[in-house]
Amino acid sequence: MGLEKTKSLHNYLTMKSLLEKFCREFGTHIVKTIRRSQLENLQVKRQKEGMALATIDYEFNAVKIMVNKAFNDDLLGGETLKVFKGIKSMLKKNANARNRVLSPQEFYQILEKMISPGKGPLLMAFRTGMREGEILNLVWSRIDLENRLIELEAIDTKDGEPRTIPIPADVLEIFKRTPKALHDPHIFLWKGKKIRGEQFRVWVQQACKDANIPYGRTVKDGFVPHDLRHGFVTFMRKAGVDRSVIMELTGHSTDSMFHRYNEIDSDDRRKAMNKFDEFLQKEQEKIDQKDANAKVGV
């Protein structure tokens, strides 16, 4: 965890905390003496302690990354690597998959109730499909206002791949209204500091409550901020955007063969965002027409 490249990762503090927790169990062991059965016992122990399966997997994935790095630096042998790589995930594939997609009308109801410092990040999540961490950690050096582009570098993204995202008109207005001198280096601040993910989610929860929209992973039809990525992909698809372009915009790496044989350029990205704009405009026109009809009793 002392590598400078590792320290620059957006999830560095989370990984550091999980690895410290792991070391409290095995810190006195020589790594090559750790057996698979011991690791599996720790997984069960974590579950009995009430840790979510996804969090257990996150901890062990962090450990695997560390062990793999040590192997690549010739600090560990293949047999040790085999022990750690052989640990299976606790969470079954797609067990945490969600299909909650807010309608545009629901989203704007939440946005209206959202506390002012959170409006920008919330709108960005809806309009760009960016991850929460990518948004809250966004700095001015990644913004090209002249060409209306967000240029994320490898250290900014979950998958460690750079990504370019066109800036929609409504997000551009937020950037232009934000006093850069007071918001440096991070764009989105609260009380002079970068907005924390925990704080942002509290704001979203309250906004959902005020908008009478269910909130929470375990609540029926409950919404959580990450669902906005699902919505972005869904609405992009409905707007007719090619799925390889959507994957490029969101940084998804699945469907790799399809993605590999499709080259995505700047024009593709801009057309994708324009189509999304048109889709949202039509949705708003439907809402306006419905309201107008209700007023005249149609």
Q: Sign of torsion, CA 133 48 44 98?
A: negative
Write out pLDDT tens, residues 11-63: 667 777 878 888 898 888 888 899 999 999 999 998 888 887 878 888 888 88
Residue where the block lists tokens 């959902």: 208
Helix, strand or coil, per DSSP, at residue 215: strand
Asked if 134 and 10 count as a contact pair (C-beta separation under 8 A), the reply is yes
Helix, strand or coil, per DSSP, at residue 2: coil
Phi-psi region of 251 (alpha: psi -120 to 50; beta: other; left: phi over 0): left
Q: How far apart are CA 197 and CA 132, in angstroms?
A: 7
24 alpha carbon, distance to own chain's centre:
29
- Read off the amino acid at residue 208: C
The first and second tokens of residue 132, run together, are: 């929460």
The first and second tokens of residue 124, run together, are: 């960005």
Segment (H or E) for 190: strand 189-190
Q: How far apart are CA 55 and CA 62, in angstroms?
A: 11
pLDDT band (50, 70, 90) for residue 280? very high
Residue 169: predicted pLDDT: 95
Residue 171: predicted pLDDT: 97
Residue 98: predicted pLDDT: 65
Write out pLDDT tens, residues 111-124: 999 999 999 999 99
In order of start, what are the domains of the chain with their CATH numbers? Answer: 4-85 (no CATH), 104-296 (1.10.443.10)
Q: Is the pLDDT higher at 176 or at 71?
A: 176
Using alpha carbons only, what angle is made at residue 140 by residues 139 and 141, rounded to the nearest 5 degrees?
95
Helix, strand or coil, per DSSP, at residue 181: coil
Asked if 95 and 109 count as a contact pair (C-beta separation under 8 A), the reply is no
What single-letter DSSP state applies at residue 166? E
Residue 259: predicted pLDDT: 41
pLDDT band (50, 70, 90) for residue 10? low
Residue 133: predicted pLDDT: 93
